Chain A
Amino acid sequence: MKYIKGLIYSLLILFASCKTGSPDRIADHCNINEYSDRFSIIQNEGFSIIRVMNPWQGAKDKYLDYYISDDPSTIPPGIDGSQIIIRPIASIVCTSTTHIAMVDTLGEIEILKGVSGTEFVYDEELRSRIEDGVVYDIGYENGYNTELIFSIKPDVVLVYGVSGESVPAFSRLSDMGITVLYIADYLEDHPLARIEWIKVFGELLGKQDIAERIFGSVCGEYMEIVEKVADGGRLKPDVLLGLPFNDKWFISPGNSYIAKLIEDAGGRYLWAESQSDVSIPMSLEAVCQRATKADIWLNAGVAKSIDDIRLVDPRLGDLQVTAEGSVFNNNRRLNTNGGNDYWESGIVNPHIILKDLAFIFNPDIFPGYELSYYTELRDHSDSSDKREYQE
């Protein structure tokens, strides 16, 4: 008897932790996330709640609830229209390229009616739809065209909150009754937590099972690579990240998503010990000093060759890692306007990015592998010097 009582209490505690905004409703089922702690999907009788926790940078103990259902009559009364999503969804406007990748992975690309920065879209099918004029450009962070968004009449606008609620365009859209759903994928520190957001997209598009399956298979492949690296990774290279602007170098902290990828791929990030929610501005001198022992340089901004790096600052060319040509950038897949697929489909392919990195760090683990997102930067100056000399 005592045992049963204990069980009931623990169940009650479990339910309490998943409780919705109003205390009178008890959740039927709360899906437990494996990696992400920024959202939860709470199943109720006839409807479910997508709860987005701390949806923007710097948010503390803040959450937003969205009620989603196939049948409007199941939604509890008194919920504001801007928090309700009724399936099936006919149109979505999204503000981040990662949203495009999520929707595309679930096979619903034609549902996208507006995106931010159409010229930077990599996805070919969406590109052709943009050229056909059926997908609109809704503008950038500081200049969203709310009138255009309103005229598209989307069922939901997917946004990411850099500056939080302060974006007036979003609150205006909410006021007009348009559901503005915050997707906080980019705030996640773990690559698999980012892809876990596909569950939210699955819920939106009524493709929960497919989303679960995709998430499961990506996690499986990711873990397989992590194990292979642990078994066969002989080298543990020191890794430098990023590119300075002027004499300032914004360093990704050690608790960032890319630092996690480097660690899982068998590298040693030079700033692994640093902890911060945002990138840390450091002087070029300090970074170059630590970078003298770097073996691999990754994500060198817009650089397409080692010559580009020298043009940014000749002192970067003096680094041993540059001189040895061990610089790899994530810009193998660029569209004609410079839109980078790394920031688009990369979100749903953390296992491929991880494999790229693992191959860069330890080429012998994956013999014959070809890089997908990364590319080795070449040094043209040697050859051009020789040519001049011959002439």
Chain B
Amino acid sequence: MNIKNNIKHNGVLFPRTYIYMVLGLSLVVLFIVDLLTGSVYISFGDIIRALSGKAETDIINILCSFRLPRALTALLAGMALSVSGLQMQTVFRNPLAGPYVLGISSGASLGVAILILGLSSVMSVHISMAFNSWAIVGSAWIGSGLVLVLIMIVSVRVRDIMTVLILGIMFASAVSALVSIMQYFSDESMLKSFVIWTMGSLGNLSWQQLHILIISIIAGLFISMLTTKKLNALLLGEDHARSLGLKIRTARILIFISTSILAGSVTAFCGPLAFIGIAVPHICRLIFATSSHNYLIAGTMMLGSIALLLSDIISQLPGNGRILPVNSVTALIGIPVLIWIIVRRNKFVRLS
């Protein structure tokens, strides 16, 4: 099976099973390393002892309430963003597309901006509402949901996918403009809180919130698994796909729903994590030397988690409890990797 694949897709370096194994192993290693990194020293032995419940309560406390939620969030968010990025690149047949091309992050930003910058200055009686973590999640979700509804309406009416893309970008720009106006008129402390939100973070989820994130991401990933064949057909272009008997509108809507659930939930809980959804699918196509979603969906899931876990580990590196914004770290480590791969291979693997 693997050998056959290698012949068919010339240029692949190793049999794909090996690639999956290496990715899987890195994922496990990075997950454990992520559990070990932080301001308090925890050894591998401590984790083993914690599993059997024999570690000190302090260590168990840190592992359970800080490290484990953070590592799980990185794992899930990495998967979700990369898969939704892959879907968007395929649907729009555009290498620059990403999970936020539909305006999901702009919508979420608008929701959070209204909460933090808008409501808190107008209805300051509930000023503490602005910092309530559930309220932030809720408003981000409502914001991205509204954008999704708009996109749905457009994509049902408009046949040409490029028009949908352009309208999506227009919506996003309009929404960003509104957010800018609110930023312009808000006072510093609120502005700072909002800016921190836009930088993204993986470590602010409580277990309750993590449960919701897990359920949404499983649901989103389940839908994307269902769309594998549709995505493969769409690689040929919508007209070809239609001639193969694909119901374009159903396909589009399914893919949009899955993208919105995935990217929308991650954005609601972690803020906009921008770069990963664009870069990971490209890196994945290069590693697997294919554009078939049969391999790519699982591949981007693993690679996305790896990338975000690695970013999270690096963001903790300054030490002394100081941390870097994870969003910037992702971009800073992702860009050189991507450039290196492109320069080495001298080209992108084409989307189709």
Q: Which residues of A contact B (CB under 8 A)?
A: 117, 119-120, 139-143, 162, 243, 245-248, 280-289, 292, 301-304, 308, 311-315, 318, 336-338
Cα separation A337 to B65 with both chains bound (whole Å) = 35
**Contact partners of B125 in chain A: CB under 8 A:** 336, 338
Task: Choose one: A246, A286, A308; the contact of B128 (CB below 8 Å).
Answer: A308
Please name the residue on chain A nearest to B271 by beta carbon: A246
State whether A285 touches B131 (Cβ < 8 A).
no
Whether, in the assembled complex, B130 has its beta carbon less than 8 Å from a beta carbon of chain A, the answer is yes
Cα separation A246 to B192 with both chains bound (whole Å) = 12
**Contact partners of B170 in chain A: CB under 8 A:** none
Please name the residue on chain B nearest to A311 by beta carbon: B132
**Contact partners of B127 in chain A: CB under 8 A:** 302, 338
Q: Which residues of B contact A (CB under 8 A)?
A: 38-40, 58, 61-62, 65-67, 70, 120-121, 124-125, 127-128, 130-134, 183-188, 191, 193, 196-197, 201-204, 206, 208, 271, 316, 320-323
Q: Interface centre among B183, B197, B203, B320, by most A CB within 10 Å?
A: B203
Task: Choose one: B39, B132, B134, B187; the contact of A289 (CB below 8 Å).
Answer: B39
State whether A313 touches B185 (Cβ < 8 A).
no
Cα separation A68 to B149 with both chains bound (whole Å) = 62
State whether A287 touches B196 (Cβ < 8 A).
no
What's the A-B contact tally at a CB cutoff of 8 Å?
A: 112
State whether B321 touches A318 (Cβ < 8 A).
no
Task: Choose one: B62, B197, B320; the contact of A285 (CB below 8 Å).
Answer: B62
Cα separation A120 to B120 with both chains bound (whole Å) = 12
Also in contact, A286 and B38, with CB within 8 A (given A140-B186, A245-B196, A315-B65):
yes
A-B contact pairs, 27 of them (CB 8 A): A119-B124, A140-B186, A142-B184, A142-B191, A162-B188, A246-B196, A246-B204, A282-B320, A283-B39, A283-B321, A283-B323, A285-B62, A285-B203, A286-B39, A286-B321, A289-B39, A302-B131, A304-B128, A308-B131, A308-B132, A311-B133, A312-B131, A314-B206, A315-B65, A315-B206, A336-B124, A338-B125
Please name the residue on chain A nearest to B319 by beta carbon: A286
Also in contact, A281 and B40, with CB within 8 A (given A162-B188, A247-B202):
no
Cα separation A120 to B185 with both chains bound (whole Å) = 14
**Contact partners of B320 in chain A: CB under 8 A:** 282, 286
Also in contact, A288 and B66, with CB within 8 A (given A304-B128, A308-B128):
yes
State whether B193 touches A245 (Cβ < 8 A).
yes
Cα separation A337 to B127 with both chains bound (whole Å) = 9
Measured CB to CB, the closest approach of chain A to B151, in angstroms, equals 28
**Contact partners of B191 in chain A: CB under 8 A:** 142
State whether B323 touches A281 (Cβ < 8 A).
yes
Measured CB to CB, the closest approach of chain A to B209, in angstroms, equals 9
Cα separation A285 to B202 with both chains bound (whole Å) = 12
State whether B323 touches A243 (Cβ < 8 A).
no
Cα separation A303 to B38 with both chains bound (whole Å) = 27
State whether A280 touches B132 (Cβ < 8 A).
no
Please name the residue on chain B nearest to A274 by beta carbon: B320
Measured CB to CB, the closest approach of chain A to B328, in angstroms, equals 12
State whether A282 touches B323 (Cβ < 8 A).
yes
State whether B39 touches A245 (Cβ < 8 A).
no
Please name the residue on chain A nearest to B202 by beta carbon: A247
**Contact partners of A289 in chain B: CB under 8 A:** 39-40, 62, 321
Also in contact, A284 and B66, with CB within 8 A (given A289-B39, A337-B124):
yes
State whether A248 touches B38 (Cβ < 8 A).
no
Also in contact, A285 and B38, with CB within 8 A (given A246-B201, A248-B201, A336-B125):
yes
Please name the residue on chain B nearest to A140 by beta carbon: B187
**Contact partners of A311 in chain B: CB under 8 A:** 128, 131-134
**Contact partners of B133 in chain A: CB under 8 A:** 311-313
Task: Choose one: B39, B132, B186; the contact of A312 (CB below 8 Å).
Answer: B132
Also in contact, A283 and B316, with CB within 8 A (given A302-B127, A338-B124):
yes
Please name the residue on chain B nearest to A301 by beta carbon: B131
State whether B188 touches A141 (Cβ < 8 A).
yes
Measured CB to CB, the closest approach of chain B to A162, in angstroms, equals 7
State whether A285 touches B188 (Cβ < 8 A).
no
Q: Interface centre among B67, B124, B193, B206, by most A CB within 10 Å?
A: B124
Cα separation A289 to B201 with both chains bound (whole Å) = 19
Task: Choose one: B65, B70, B188, B321; the contact of A282 (CB below 8 Å).
Answer: B321
Measured CB to CB, the closest approach of chain A to B193, in angstroms, equals 5
Instruction: Give 9 new A-B contacts, CB below 8 A, not counting A289-B321, A314-B208.
Output: A117-B187, A119-B121, A248-B196, A282-B320, A283-B323, A285-B66, A286-B320, A287-B321, A338-B127
Measured CB to CB, the closest approach of chain B to A332, in angstroms, equals 15
State whether A248 touches B131 (Cβ < 8 A).
no
State whether A285 touches B321 (Cβ < 8 A).
yes
**Contact partners of B186 in chain A: CB under 8 A:** 140
Cα separation A336 to B316 with both chains bound (whole Å) = 41
**Contact partners of B120 in chain A: CB under 8 A:** 338
**Contact partners of B206 in chain A: CB under 8 A:** 313-315
**Contact partners of A285 in chain B: CB under 8 A:** 38-40, 62, 66-67, 203, 321
State whether A247 touches B130 (Cβ < 8 A).
no
